[in-house]
Amino acid sequence: MERQASTLVVRGPSSHSFALPVQQPFDWESLLAFLRLRATPGVETVTDSVYTRTITDGAAAQIFTVTYDSTVATLQIAYSGEASARSLIESRAKQIFKPDVDTVPIEAFLCRDPWLNDFVKRQAGLRVPGGWSALEIAMRAILGQQVSVPAATTLMGRLVRAAGMRLDESSWLFPTAEQIAQSNLAGLGVPGSRMETVKTLAAFFAEHGEHCLEHSDIKDRLLALKGIGKWTAGYILMRTAASHDHWPEGDLILRKALSNGKTPSGKTMIAHAALEQAFSRWSPYRSYATIHIWKGYAPRVMSGQP
């Protein structure tokens, strides 16, 4: 069931802007390709050059827009809220696009591995895509379990319509953890166990706050929640943690890549233990090893999997 239109004021065209310098190299196109197919319907719009989404400061709905100016190596940020919101906007932009990450030492480290070397050399400046909020990434990870990227995007749109706030005919605000935990999600079209995991994780965020994933023992806390396994916990932390060392353990694409492309219908698939052993070589940059393998082994991963 859709929520009724909001009584929040929707601020008009962006009235404030600023630029963020970006560490070079920077693969803007791959970053947008990843975000484009995962754009939450009604909340995010991603073209081949612009990222746009709805946000709120609690009193008003706003529009947040990001483009990249390669001539001066800066992200161009525009937003329609109060000027005082800049610090929040800046921190969230950095959270999504990682302009402060210096990939040069990361890539130099990963290039020491002969197997990974070719991938990394061909893909300078890749970033591990973040998100506006840890909650959104966590919900995406749960709803994306065992379904395609387009299917997960559809489910995210249903979640927004079941628990979020409608602004107009096509625009919505992503729901808060409290709204998700308290909403009727029967219309999502997911198994009951997965809907329960969505509710449980939302309640976890509602209790512990947006920064709950920063706790030192957060991986163990996530794994203790019913319906969250190592792949899901690793994927969430890969995209949200300050550390670059989280990865989606047991990921099928990674297993295929390290099996020289062989699949179960071929002959061999690398075992989980062997995959973990391989990834241990790439610590403390296993998040970046993942993103390089995803793009280098199967380019569709950055724009269509997982």
pLDDT at 265 over 70: no
* pLDDT recorded at residue 40: 98
* pLDDT recorded at residue 1: 53
pLDDT at 117 over 90: yes
* 275 within 8 A of 253, measured Cβ to Cβ: no
**What's the mean pLDDT in 263-284?**
77
Lowest mean pLDDT among 19-33, 197-211, 261-275: 261-275
* pLDDT recorded at residue 301: 52
Answer whether 9-101 and 102-128+244-306 agree in fold: no
Q: What's the pLDDT band for 30 if we cut at 50, 70, 90?
A: very high
* pLDDT recorded at residue 217: 93
pTM of this structure: 0.91
CA 68/CA 77 separation, integer angstroms? 9
Cα dihedral across residues 157, 161, 165, 169: positive or negative: positive
* pLDDT recorded at residue 81: 81
Give residue-wise pLDDT tens across range 222-241: 999 999 999 999 999 999 99
CA 170/CA 258 separation, integer angstroms? 43
Please name the CATH architecture into which domain 9-101 falls: 2-Layer Sandwich (3.30)
When the pLDDT of each residue in the chain is averaged and rounded to a whole number, the result is 90
pLDDT at 263 over 50: no
Give residue-wise pLDDT tens across range 205-215: 999 988 899 99
Give the residue, 2 or 90, on which the prediction is more confident.
90
Give residue-wise pLDDT tens across range 56-67: 877 789 999 999
* pLDDT recorded at residue 306: 45
CA 251/CA 224 separation, integer angstroms? 20
Domain 102-128+244-306 class in CATH: mainly alpha
First-to-last CA distance in the chain?
A: 28
**279-291 as b/e: b if 16+ CB within 10 A:** beebeebbbbbbb
CA 1/CA 11 separation, integer angstroms? 26
CA 228/CA 211 separation, integer angstroms? 19
**What's the mean pLDDT in 186-202?**
95
**What's the mean pLDDT in 193-205?**
97
* pLDDT recorded at residue 268: 61
Domain range annotation of the chain: 9-101, 102-128+244-306
Q: Which long-range contacts (CB under 8 A, 24 or more apart) does 252-257 make?
A: 252/306, 253/293, 253/294, 253/297, 253/298, 253/301, 253/305, 253/306, 254/279, 254/290, 254/293, 254/294, 256/297, 256/298, 257/293, 257/297, 257/298
Percent of the chain with pLDDT over 70: 89
Q: Which of 239, 208, 243, 218 is nearest to 34 (CA)?
A: 239
